[in-house]
Structure 1
């Protein structure tokens, strides 16, 4: 790091210049990113979100663009100059006689000590922190006042008009999920008349799929919704209106012919998988979400299929099954969970290149099972449990 670089950064990124001459610092504070860390989260921990110029300084110091995520276990420089405290005063340590600046630096160091970010105060360990904004950014405004404090996910998935997905962490960074919502387009899937309304498998499977996609995106995963509807986002109604305008990602209109429909979505998955793999992504999972249709009197719990011979697919299915079993012990104590995991040679399971699991959420014909998918809160619970089973992470 060249001498004075911190001050140079301040000149090029701040809206108003605070010309302060200081002795050159000993070094700059560094931190190793943990799994789930994001830039704003890291800066907030070090009380650097009080001025927007610290954000720009962080990206500049680390030669990053604002679209670059933090990588777990990588060490990053913080916009904090480190001085060897001389035991006399802050002013003589930094080579500047500005009393107010010295008080601000002292207050900043005390904040870090009180928050246990820094274990001791500079008077004890002789390490004085001088944050970038106190020296360079007099005209920089607090982030809470005029700069965004949230990171949003870029995605081609429509979740609802004006709906933005906030990234909460990068805990799933590098992992890719391909969500295939069952049926769609000219094929509504399983159907059941409820009063004057027609319940359609594809609408309920799609809503749960969207909710799962949102959960995954919020934690930094890459998500491809293979079947997409450009005007149906996450819906809160119990009775979801049927339409036939779903399309297949990168493929367009969904064919009427069943075999061609299956081939189309498999081709979409495998094409995307090839691209993601070439970009260095190594962890890929396909999940196909359906609603079953059996006899009216047959109750069934959520159950799973995997491709015969696929150890990874079986492991994924078992993980989700175990999650549902544990959730039932908490939320459905009056009865045991009976959902199964079995192998089945379904086309989507056999032909997709990444490991895959196939989920049946309920029997649409059964009144009791309908209660699992009609209330929006239950559809969200299904998405949450699928998320936890897929990732091993707990919904916060």
Structure 2
């Protein structure tokens, strides 16, 4: 399977905020087991389009600014699902309605395959996304409710969600590690398998050095083919430390890459902003720093950031990656940092 993703942009305009008059907002009671995604989906709403609006509407009624309370009533953002109004001018608003067009990508799975264009903010940008481990190597392992969980499954799910976000803003995206049948999943416990392959349907080697070199070669070859274009690399891992160590999201970059540092810093700043807004009582302790000792940081050519998302062995951090709502939030926050980096322009030559 040689899966190269790109998106075609369509000529229509989207309102940046939904109409949310308080007297017309629908409310719904949260049942046992409901999360933000499942609650919105039950109401026939695309949860990925209105996630932030839902959080803003219900901020005072959420635990840790992201989890629902069973038995409480929540407001559902009022939006038009399948059509958007087209504004002719500031003085005259047209009632013309256009159908939102999308493009399907099977790699995201049947439920999530359709990508709708939200903007052209990343038009012209190329992103290489790598989820850690895969194939014969599951990465860090832990137990949850008596069941084994593996780093590679959760890193891959977050990477797919990030890819979909970047595509929706007009980017060209290459997913370097791929699973032919997983897609984006809404389960807490993601089943472990070993059928992941590298881009071009390449078998992933068991040997660690050979595995990393394979990824470096694929990325650097693509970097050469896309020479002269705006290119960035994002690598996603889940850390493994002692069970008692609760950590935040960390970002690494090459010590000599100004653009890699800027990318890491942009995503880091976005996380600081989100924590301040959604979790004001909790201090965000994640950092961004150079770590050239990491093989992919040292050997790949595009400006890049290497992301560590929590400690898979820590109970608090497990909630961050096991909850599908949290995985979606992580992907969306990373994508917003990516947009911030792209719109900020270049700092020095592209590494």
**Do these two structures clear the TM 0.5 threshold for a shared fold by scoring above it?**
yes
Residue 10 of structure 1 corresponds to none
Aligned length: 260
Q: 1:173 aligns with which of 120, 123, 139?
A: 123
Task: Please state how far the C-alpha of 1:38 moved relative to its aligned partner.
Answer: 5.1
Determine if the alignment matches structure 1 residue 117 to structure 2 residue 89: yes
Partner of 1:132: none
Residue 174 of structure 2 is matched in structure 1 by 224
| Aligned partner of residue 342 in structure 1, secondary structure | strand
Aligned to 2:63: none
- Which of residues 174, 193, 218 in structure 1 aligns to 2:143? 193
Tell me which residue corresponds to 1:102.
none
Q: Deviations over 1:261-308 (max 9, x none)?
A: 00001111111222222xx5x211100000000011111000011112
Partner residue of 1:358 out of 295, 298, 306:
306
Q: Which has the higher strand share?
A: 2
Does the alignment pair 1:322 with 2:293?
A: no
From 285, 293, 297, the equivalent of 1:338 is 285
Match of 1:41 among 12, 25, 31: 12
Q: 1:251 to 1:266 in 2, by over 3 A?
A: farther
Provide the rounded CA distance (Å) in 2 between the counterparts of 1:377 and 1:119.
40
- How far residue 376 of structure 1 moved from its aligned partner, in angstroms, is 0.3
Q: Return the offset for 1:379.
A: 0.3
Structure 1 residue ranges (4+ consecutive) displaced by more than 6 angstroms after TM superposition: none
- Equivalents in 2 of 1:260, 1:367: separation in Å? 33
Provide closer, same or farther for how the CA distance between residues 292 and 119 of structure 1 changes in structure 2, counting only shifts above 3 A: closer
In the superposition, relative to structure 1, how do residues 151 and 269 fare at CA in structure 2: closer, same or farther (>3 Å)? farther
Counterpart in the other structure of 1:243 = 193
Q: Show the counterpart of 1:392.
A: 340
Structure-2 separation of matches of 1:251 and 1:266: 16
1:313, distance to aligned residue in structure 2 (A): 1.1
Q: Give how far 1:119 is off.
A: 6.0
Mapped partners of 2:104, 2:226: distance in 1: 16
2:40 aligned residue: none
CA RMSD of aligned residues (A): 2.6
Distance 1:115 1:236, change over 3 A: closer
TM-score by length of 1: 0.61
Q: Structure 1 residue aligned with 2:327, among 353, 374, 379?
A: 379
TM-superposed CA distance for 1:198, in Å, is 0.8
Partners of 2:121 and 2:339 within 8 A in 1 = no
Whether contact under 8 Å (1:387, 1:393) holds in the other structure is: no
Residue of 267, 270, 274 corresponding to 2:217: 267
* Distance in 2 separating the partners of 1:357 and 1:197: 31
The normalised TM-score by structure 2 is 0.69
- Unpaired runs of 5+ residues, structure 1, are 1-36, 43-113, 121-141
Q: 1:154 to 1:174 in 2, by over 3 A?
A: farther
